[in-house]
Amino acid sequence: MKKKVVIGMSGGVDSSVAAYLLKEQGYDVIGIMMKLSPDDPDYAENEGGCCSLSAVLDARRVADKLDIPFYVMNFKQPFKNYVIDNFVDEYFNGRTPNPCIMCNKHIKFEELLRKAISIGADYVATGHYASIEKKDGRYLLRKSEDDRKDQTYALYNLTQEQLKHTLMPCGQYAKTEIREIAEKIGLEVFRKKDSQEICFIPDNNHGNYIEKKSGRKVKPGKFVDKSGKVLGDHKGIVYYTIGQRKGLGIALGKPVFVIDIIPEKNQVVLGDEQDIFKNTLIAKDVNLIPFDKVEGEIDVTAKVRYSAKPAKAKLSQVGDNRVKLVFEENQRAITKGQSVVFYDGNYVVGGGVIETVL
* Model pLDDT for residues 87-130, shown as the tens digit of each residue: 999 999 999 999 999 999 999 999 999 999 999 999 999 999 99
Q: Kindly name the residue from 50, 100, 103, 170 that is annotated as catalytic.
A: 103
Is residue 37 a contact partner of residue 83, using CB atoms and an 8 Å limit?
no
Average pLDDT over residues 165-188: 93
Q: Tell whether the model's pLDDT for residue 148 goes beyond 90.
A: no
Q: What is the mean pLDDT of residues 151-179?
A: 95
pLDDT of residue 48: 47
- Ligand-binding site membership of 49 (annotated): no
**11 among annotated binding-site residues:** yes
Q: Does the annotation list 13 as a binding residue?
A: yes
**What's the Cα-to-Cα distance from 242 to each of 26, 159, 338, rounded to whole Å?**
48, 30, 10
Say if residue 249 carries a ligand binding annotation. no
- Rounded to whole angstroms, the Cα distance separating 14 from 28 reads 19
Strand partners, 131: 142
* Contact yes or no for 218/209 (Cβ under 8 A): no
Q: Is 103 a catalytic residue?
A: yes
Question: Where does 25-169 have alpha helices with state H?
Answer: 41-44, 53-66, 76-79, 85-92, 99-103, 112-118, 160-164
Closest Cα to residue 233, out of 244, 222, 224? 222
Task: Please give the domain boundaries of the chain with CATH numbers for all domains.
Answer: 4-185 (3.40.50.620), 219-271 (2.30.30.280), 276-357 (2.40.30.10)
Model pLDDT for residues 232-273, shown as the tens digit of each residue: 999 999 999 999 999 898 989 899 999 999 999 999 999 999
Residue 233 three-state SS: strand
- Has 8 been labeled as part of a binding site? yes
Nearest CA-CA partner of 259 in 281, 244, 239, 237: 244
Q: What is the CA radius of gyration of the chain?
A: 21
The answer to whether the CB of 268 falls within 8 A of the CB of 234 is yes
Nearest to residue 127, comparing CAs of 162, 168, 174? Answer: 168
- 199 as an active site residue: the answer is yes
Does 9 count as an annotated binding residue? Answer: yes
More confident residue, 110 or 53: 110
> Does 227 appear as a known binding residue?
no
* pLDDT-above-70 percentage for the chain: 95
Among the options 51, 100, 170, 199, which is catalytic?
A: 199
Task: Tell me the whole-structure pTM to 2 decimals.
Answer: 0.91
335, amino acid identity: T
Is 247 annotated as ligand-binding? no
